[in-house]
Chains A and B, each alone.
Chain A
Amino acid sequence: MVTLTAPETTTPTATIDLADSPVRDLNQALHEATDGQSWTVANPGGKHSLAVGIDADISVAINGHAGYYAAGMHKTGTVTISGNAGVGLAENIMSGTVHVKGDVSQSAAATGHGGLVVIDGNAGARCGISMKGVDIVVGGNIGHMSAFMAQAGRLVVCGDAGEALGDSIYEARIYVKGTVASLGADCIEKPMNIEHLKELEGLLAAAGRTDNPADFKRYGSARNLYHFSVHNSASY
């Protein structure tokens, strides 16, 4: 059943069924949506580029698994995926919230400038690669090379982190509850001060989690690789 007209104020939710409606129509309808609306996407079937470029304060519920680049370039509102998401979830997110209830593939929230990305399950490799201000909370584990060249924002991991966490990191802050397989170049463990516990408490609460901030360790930049020095060439 396709409902591509903007929902009436009396209808709380409009549904787009991707079993018989193209992704282009879904995204066009979401771009024409107005603040306060709720949209439901049925039968996403792992299709790519679902709910990208949203810039109205709407809530979008994707009922099933999403493919590559779901909720990319997200600006306002909330996208909730009740399933898994493929490569590049919420790529270049600017603000707003993206919530995945399952697992996500690699490069989640890559280059994200702001907003909140919550992943209840595990995230693959390169989670938060080149993040520039986004907050990411992962309920499970993250893969290797996560937060590579991270510039700003916070990455919270309630499980374990893979190899080379935070390689060549700038000013992003990373909190990990479980083990870290290895730290990348210029990423070090840092003390958990009161302001960090507070910050983490806020992030966990925003993600709807009940983990204890005191169980986490903090990682960040040693700031030794900011400027190229030939003496550091072996560290890159």
Chain B
Amino acid sequence: MCGIAALQLRNPSLHPEMGSLLSSMMCQIVDRGPDSAGLAVYDTPGLVSKGTSTLSLLGKDQGLPLGEITESLESLLSPSATPAVRVVGDTTLVSAAVGTDLLVKAVRETLPGSTVIGRGEHVAVMKSVGHPMHIAAEHGLEAMAGSQGLSHTRMATESAVTAGGSHPFSVADDLCLVHNGSFSNHATIRRELKREGVVFDSDNDTEVGARYIASRLQQGDDLETALINLGKVFDGFYTLVVTTADSMAVVRDPIACKPAIIAETEDYVAMASEYRALASLPGIETARIFEPEPGKVYTWSL
């Protein structure tokens, strides 16, 4: 069992409330996964900004003072890239006005032991071990504005309870994946992806799903096609939510082992493992509420 709560805000006037709405959803899915949790927020002022790349690094302590990290990045990139490093909760955010690939290279050189858990122009990813609401509070979710938000509470089954094994998995620019369930043939697919040169950060089955989708998108699939292809290749139980810079997708395995419920209004699309996570959203009384059908890919774009 794991819990998922995701929110895409269609009405910009709700953007300032993204964090408080997502937080109210998340506290209803804690029972489903109390051991660790993760968050992805999009277009949150103070965390990301247009025209700069932001990397989310696992942990607040990278082994070097923030000033030294900034200096190293300045010398590796250039001072005009204006690299900035800051700590949010248990996450270190590194930004610079360069492409993400270049920034990843500079960060790897500066901090060889670091783990990149999020990358892109729009997304910040935060994850940790412990009570999900403590993790959300530590990162200040309540006060965050944004266009989309994704949260996951984990009950670990396939791999250890570690911050790195928490969801979301974000392995390509602005792409995030959360998963309720377990993939049974992930080791086989992991080997195939490794042969293609894909590098993994964890032993987690969901990371294989994220790497697979990133690989399909790179090969030209759109998000819907990538998820249809995932259904052909992956065996196991899953409800997945995938977010990109401007879209959100939901898919359940063909025998619908894991729950999902969606509420749609003119103002937002919200998805959660259980209805109780949607119950306090504004306008829920008149929302279109439905369970996604097994094996069908649903996508929404901003």
Instruction: Please measure, in the bound complex, the distance between the C-alpha atom of A124 and the C-alpha atom of B260, giving whole angstroms.
Output: 11
A-B contact pairs, 27 of them (CB 8 A): A45-B276, A46-B28, A46-B274, A46-B275, A46-B276, A46-B278, A47-B276, A48-B276, A65-B289, A67-B274, A67-B275, A67-B276, A68-B274, A84-B289, A86-B259, A86-B274, A86-B275, A87-B259, A103-B291, A105-B259, A105-B261, A105-B291, A124-B256, A124-B291, A125-B256, A144-B256, A144-B294
Cβ–Cβ < 8 Å partners of A87 in chain B: 259
Instruction: Please measure, in the bound complex, the distance between the C-alpha atom of A105 and the C-alpha atom of B297, giving whole angstroms.
Output: 18
A 59-98 to B, binary, CB cutoff 8 A, 1 in contact else 0: 0000001011000000000000000101100000000000
Cβ–Cβ < 8 Å partners of B200 in chain A: none
- Return the chain B residue nearest A106 by Cβ: B256
Let me know if A143 is at the binding interface, CB within 8 A. Answer: yes
Let me know if B255 is at the binding interface, CB within 8 A. Answer: yes
B 282-293 to A, binary, CB cutoff 8 A, 1 in contact else 0: 000000011100
Let me know if B233 is at the binding interface, CB within 8 A. Answer: no
B 258-302 to A, binary, CB cutoff 8 A, 1 in contact else 0: 010100000000000011111110000000011100100000000
Least CB distance, A232 to chain B, in whole angstroms: 23
Instruction: Please measure, in the bound complex, the distance between the C-alpha atom of A45 and the C-alpha atom of B275, giving whole angstroms.
Output: 8
Top 6 nearest A-B pairs (CB, nearest first) are: A46-B275, A46-B276, A45-B279, A46-B279, A125-B256, A65-B275
Scan residues 31-54 of chain A and give those whose CB is less than 8 A from a CB of chain B: 45-48
Least CB distance, A41 to chain B, in whole angstroms: 14
Cβ–Cβ < 8 Å partners of A45 in chain B: 276, 279-280
Known A86-B259, A103-B290; 16 more pairs at CB < 8 Å: A45-B279, A46-B274, A46-B277, A47-B276, A65-B289, A67-B276, A84-B275, A86-B274, A87-B259, A105-B291, A125-B255, A125-B294, A143-B256, A144-B255, A144-B256, A144-B294
Cβ–Cβ < 8 Å partners of B277 in chain A: 46
Range of interface residues on B (Cβ < 8 Å): 10 to 19
Least CB distance, A71 to chain B, in whole angstroms: 16
A 96-110 to B, binary, CB cutoff 8 A, 1 in contact else 0: 000000010110000
Instruction: Please measure, in the bound complex, the distance between the C-alpha atom of A125 and the C-alpha atom of B289, giving whole angstroms.
Output: 17
A interface with B by C-beta (< 8 Å): 45-48, 65, 67-68, 84, 86-87, 103, 105-106, 124-125, 143-145
Cβ–Cβ < 8 Å partners of A84 in chain B: 275, 289
Instruction: Please measure, in the bound complex, the distance between the C-alpha atom of A65 and the C-alpha atom of B232, giving whole angstroms.
Output: 34
Instruction: Please measure, in the bound complex, the distance between the C-alpha atom of A44 and the C-alpha atom of B250, giving whole angstroms.
Output: 26
Cβ–Cβ < 8 Å partners of B255 in chain A: 125, 144-145
- Return the chain A residue nearest B290 by Cβ: A103
Scan residues 168-227 of chain B and give those whose CB is less than 8 A from a CB of chain A: none
Are B279 and A65 closer than 8 Å at their CB atoms? yes
Instruction: Please measure, in the bound complex, the distance between the C-alpha atom of A107 and the C-alpha atom of B114, giving whole angstroms.
Output: 45
Cβ–Cβ < 8 Å partners of B261 in chain A: 105
- Return the chain A residue nearest B284 by Cβ: A65
Least CB distance, B30 to chain A, in whole angstroms: 14
Are A143 and B289 closer than 8 Å at their CB atoms? no
Cβ–Cβ < 8 Å partners of B276 in chain A: 45-48, 67
Least CB distance, B296 to chain A, in whole angstroms: 12
Cβ–Cβ < 8 Å partners of B290 in chain A: 103
Cβ–Cβ < 8 Å partners of A124 in chain B: 256, 291
Least CB distance, B133 to chain A, in whole angstroms: 18
Instruction: Please measure, in the bound complex, the distance between the C-alpha atom of A65 and the C-alpha atom of B259, giving whole angstroms.
Output: 16
Most buried by A among B259, B279, B291: B291
Instruction: Please measure, in the bound complex, the distance between the C-alpha atom of A124 and the C-alpha atom of B290, giving whole angstroms.
Output: 10
- Return the chain B residue nearest A65 by Cβ: B275
Least CB distance, B287 to chain A, in whole angstroms: 11
Cβ–Cβ < 8 Å partners of B294 in chain A: 125, 143-144
Least CB distance, A4 to chain B, in whole angstroms: 22
Least CB distance, A171 to chain B, in whole angstroms: 26
Least CB distance, A209 to chain B, in whole angstroms: 22
- Return the chain A residue nearest B276 by Cβ: A46
- Return the chain A residue nearest B289 by Cβ: A84
Least CB distance, A153 to chain B, in whole angstroms: 23
Cβ–Cβ < 8 Å partners of A67 in chain B: 274-276
- Return the chain A residue nearest B278 by Cβ: A46
Cβ–Cβ < 8 Å partners of A103 in chain B: 289-291
Least CB distance, B100 to chain A, in whole angstroms: 39
Cβ–Cβ < 8 Å partners of A143 in chain B: 256, 294
Least CB distance, A236 to chain B, in whole angstroms: 17
Instruction: Please measure, in the bound complex, the distance between the C-alpha atom of A105 and the C-alpha atom of B261, giving whole angstroms.
Output: 9
Instruction: Please measure, in the bound complex, the distance between the C-alpha atom of A68 and the C-alpha atom of B28, giving whole angstroms.
Output: 13
Least CB distance, B189 to chain A, in whole angstroms: 26
Instruction: Please measure, in the bound complex, the distance between the C-alpha atom of A105 and the C-alpha atom of B276, giving whole angstroms.
Output: 14
Instruction: Please measure, in the bound complex, the distance between the C-alpha atom of A86 and the C-alpha atom of B276, giving whole angstroms.
Output: 10
- Return the chain B residue nearest A85 by Cβ: B275
